[in-house]
Amino acid sequence: MTAPAPRSLVGIFLAVLGGLAPSDAQIEVWHIGKGGLTWVSQAETQIGALDVDGALQPLKLQAGENLIELLRASGQRFLNGQPRDFILGGQPRAWSNDGFFNQISGPLDLIDGDPATSSSGVFKTAQSQAGATFFWDLGAPFPVNRIRFFPAPNDDAFVKAFELRVNDGENFNDINRPQYEVLRRVEVNRESTVDIEFAPLQGRFLQLLVLSKTVFNIAEFEIYGQGFVPVASYVSVLHSFGGPVNYGRLRVHATQLGTGAASAAIQMRTGADDSPLAYFRRDRDTGRQEEVSAAEYNTNLPRRSLYRQDPDTGELLEELDRADYLTQPIEDQGPVPDFVKGDIR
Categorize the per-residue pLDDT at 2 as very low, low, confident or very high, splitting at 50, 70 and 90.
Answer: very low
Residue 190 and residue 320 in one domain:
no
- Higher-confidence position of 105 and 253: 105
Listed residues 256, 271, 293: the one ending a domain:
256
At residue 116, the pLDDT reads 94
> For residue 342, is pLDDT > 50?
no
Residue among 217, 222, 210, 224 at smallest CA distance from 111:
222
Q: Is the pLDDT of residue 4 over 60?
A: no
Confidence class of residue 56 from pLDDT cuts 50, 70 and 90?
Answer: confident
Instruction: Please report the pLDDT score of residue 336 as a whole number.
Output: 59
Handedness of CA 93, 97, 99, 104 (dihedral sign): negative
Rounded average pLDDT over 154-168: 97
**Are 204 and 244 in the same domain?**
no
Cβ within 8 Å of residue 89, ≥6 positions away: 45, 47, 139, 140, 169, 204, 233
Domain assignment present for 317: yes
270 located within any domain: no
**How far is it, in rounded angstroms, from Cα 136 to Cα 56?**
25
Looking at the structure, do residues 168 and 249 belong to the same domain, yes or no? no
Q: Taking all residues of the chain, what is their mean pLDDT, rounded to a whole number?
A: 82
238 with 317, same domain: the answer is no
Domain boundary among 256, 271, 302: 256
**Same-domain status, 48 and 115:** no
Domain boundaries, position 316: 279-344
Same domain, yes or no, for 237 and 292?
A: no
The predicted model gives 106-127 an average pLDDT of 95
Give the mean model confidence (pLDDT) for residues 259-287.
Answer: 74
Same domain? 46 vs 183: no
- Say if 272 falls within a structural domain: no
pLDDT of 156 reads 93
DSSP 256-319: E-SSSS----------SSS-S--EEEEETTT--EEEE-HHHHHHT-SEE-EEEE-TTT--EEEE
Do 21 and 114 fall within a single domain? no
**Model confidence band, residue 187 (pLDDT cutoffs 50, 70, 90):** very high
Highest-pLDDT range among 19-23, 163-167, 335-339 = 163-167
The verdict on 178 and 135 lying in the same domain is: yes
Q: Is 185 among the domain residues?
A: yes
Query: Could you tell me if residue 262 is inside a domain?
Result: no
Shared domain for 16 and 42, answered yes or no, is yes
Q: Give a yes or no: residue 184 inside a domain.
A: yes
Name which of 89-98, 223-232, 315-324, 332-341 the model is least confident about. Answer: 332-341
CA atoms lying within 13 Å on the CB side of residue 284 = 11
Identify the CATH number of the domain in which residue 159 sits: 2.60.120.260
pLDDT given at position 11: 56
d(CA 169, CA 93): 14
The pLDDT, as a whole number, for residue 274 is 72
Average pLDDT over residues 153-160: 95
Same domain, 136 and 208: yes
**Does the pLDDT at position 104 exceed 90?**
yes
**Does the model's pTM come out above 0.75?**
no
Cβ-contact 238, 179 below 8 angstroms: no
Look at the chain and report how many structural domains it folds into. 3
Q: Look at residue 6 in the predicted model and tell me its pLDDT.
A: 57
Q: Are 147 and 71 part of one and the same domain? A: yes
Does residue 266 lie within any of the structural domains?
A: no
Q: Are 98 and 82 in contact (CB under 8 A)?
A: no
**Cα distance between residue 251 and residue 248, in whole Å:** 10
Per the model's pLDDT, the better-predicted residue between 222 and 305 turns out to be 222
DSSP class of 92: -
- Please check whether residue 82 lies inside any domain of the structure: yes
